[in-house]
Structure 1
Amino acid sequence: MINEYENTLRRLIINILGGEDKDVAKYKVTDNRINQWIEKRNIEQKKNNGILFENRIIFYSDFYDLQTIIDKNWESFLPVLNDKKRWLVFFQEVEKYRNTIAHGRQLVKSQEDLLSGIVMDLKNNITIFHNKNNMKEDFFIEIIRVSDNLGNSWSRSVFNRSKTPVLREGDEYEINIEANDPKDREIEYWIFSLGLSLNIVQKSSKFNFTLDSKLVGRNTVLGIQARTPEADYKNEDTLNFRICVLPKEVV
């Protein structure tokens, strides 16, 4: 739940201030902090043999950095978080529980319940803000980001779309999907190709499959869909991207 709280704040910061490297000046943190985030990102890339699964710099920030960013940009976050003192009390409570876990101690049930309430309170504030502005994000699921095991990623933003990756028939390919449903309904994921030579439906957001001969092509289109089957209305989002699949090498 603590990771959920942290990453909800990070996504909120991205929504309010932006998430690209060019947006970091809006965070109003020191150059030293930004350089430390970049260093952590570089280390992560080296650990994964040059592959970077998460490029957004805010995801390499520390927990206390999130408080700094929100505090220094409070006027921008006020419409969402409403009461600064109340938000800070909740943030500090999560920080205390985070330190407890970091030192190898477990939370008691009353602490877990309070932590769950704080996470839901943050999400509710975001939902209420969207409702006031009649935002579709409060009703419909959204695919936020799709990434693969080669370090490529795709999203709605034209600034976050990788070049067409080149693979070969027989390669193992892994796709990770980041999606959000504002009502917290169970999400079902579907990956498919034109003609449905690839057609996998599952509850997990991580797909792993072998590229067969039917997927060979210069511009093979893969489709990703996230949906909530239990919704009372049609609730789905789809994102397409292209890969290049070379035929198997003849030895």
Structure 2
Amino acid sequence: MEPVEALRSIEIALRLVIKEVLGSEDWLQAKGAPERERLEERQAEEAKRRDGAVVSSDLIDYTETYHLTGIVERNWDRFQPAFKDKARTLAYFGVLGDVRNSIAHSRDLVPFERDLLSGIAGHFRNQISIFRGHHTPSSAYYPLIESVVDNFGREGVEGPTFLQDDLPRLNVGDVLRFSGRAFDARKKGVVWEFLVGSVHAPLGGQGPPVVATGDTVEFEYSIREEDVSEFFVVGVRIRTEGKFHRNRDFHPYDDIRGFNYAVNPPD
């Protein structure tokens, strides 16, 4: 795993476990958490810089690595069930602190640093996925989507997509781009499928097309005339090539996220 990707993977995992342990809103009141006002300033700054994208509304996405490690360290009793060994975890945090600035400023790491960071990323992802599996026991058997983000910066939702606000307006011929990350405890190989018209069943009843394979993927989709609608629904879901799946409908799958868009009629 490349250093930038490894660091990003670690930050995603830490944000997931912090929200899992402390609550999606209550984490801001935890020891070591940054001030809400400072995070809101960063959110506003990003919105100004990225006026062509929808920036995240989740303030934890504006935290730095040292914020995340500080929250875990200063609230260790709450996080011990996830990380188990405090001395080892803090040693890993020390490595992150040593290399983070080099990565942020595009300075190369030596081979052992790259390998060490990649190993830490894998270890943390495994620990946190196993811990979250205690709340979702099926994750020990089936892969889970950690995140799916479109080129507008929007995260796919688990529930009904019609609850999404401020839908991006698209034109026929526009290209949607997605990046996804999944965790597969049994390492059977993750297959990513793309559906339009419904997050559960593709248009025409055909099997959903496979767009990518692997734990970390990128893929794109070009908007067609058939997609014109004020509520154009996109489903991104995963499965393995195994015999058994978390959901066994006409096209079995293991996890899914949805997006809504508005697609303009052509002139």
Q: Which category describes the TM-score, using the shorter chain as reference length?
A: 0.7 to 0.9
Report 1:100-179 matches (<5 A): 100-102=102-104, 105-130=107-132, 135-156=137-158, 161-163=163-165, 165=167, 167-179=169-181
Give the 3-state SS of the residue equivalent to 2:53 in structure 1. coil
Alignment correspondent of 1:5: 10
The answer to whether structure 1 residue 191 and structure 2 residue 194 are counterparts is: yes
Of 212, 218, 222 in structure 2, the residue corresponding to residue 203 of structure 1 is 212
1:215-239 per-residue CA deviation (whole Å, 9 max, x = no partner) reads: 123433332222233x464363233
Are 1:168 and 1:247, in contact at CA under 8 Å, matched by a contact in 2? no
**Which runs of 5 or more residues in structure 2 are unaligned?**
1-5, 197-201, 246-252
Of 209, 213, 229 in structure 2, the residue corresponding to residue 217 of structure 1 is 229
- Per the normalisation by structure 2, the TM-score is 0.74
Are 2:149 and 2:155, in contact at CA under 8 Å, matched by a contact in 1? yes
Rounded Cα–Cα distance in structure 2 between residues aligned with 1:150 and 1:93: 33
Are 1:143 and 1:177, in contact at CA under 8 Å, matched by a contact in 2? no
The answer to whether structure 1 residue 46 and structure 2 residue 54 are counterparts is: no
Rounded Cα–Cα distance in structure 2 between residues aligned with 1:24 and 1:131: 20
Are 2:15 and 2:60, in contact at CA under 8 Å, matched by a contact in 1? yes
**Structure 1 residue 88, shift from structure 2 partner:** 0.7
Rounded Cα–Cα distance in structure 1 between residues aligned with 2:128 and 2:100: 22
How many percent identity over aligned positions? 24
**Which runs of 5 or more residues in structure 1 are unaligned?**
none
**Structure 1 residue 57, shift from structure 2 partner:** 1.6
The 3 A distance-change label for structure 1 pair 118 and 209 is closer
Are 1:41 and 1:60, in contact at CA under 8 Å, matched by a contact in 2? yes
Higher RCO (CA 8 Å, separation ≥ 6 residues):
2
**Structure 1 residue 207, shift from structure 2 partner:** 3.9
Are 1:145 and 1:178, in contact at CA under 8 Å, matched by a contact in 2? yes
The 3 A distance-change label for structure 1 pair 246 and 50 is closer
Aligned residues: 245
The answer to whether structure 1 residue 236 and structure 2 residue 244 are counterparts is: no
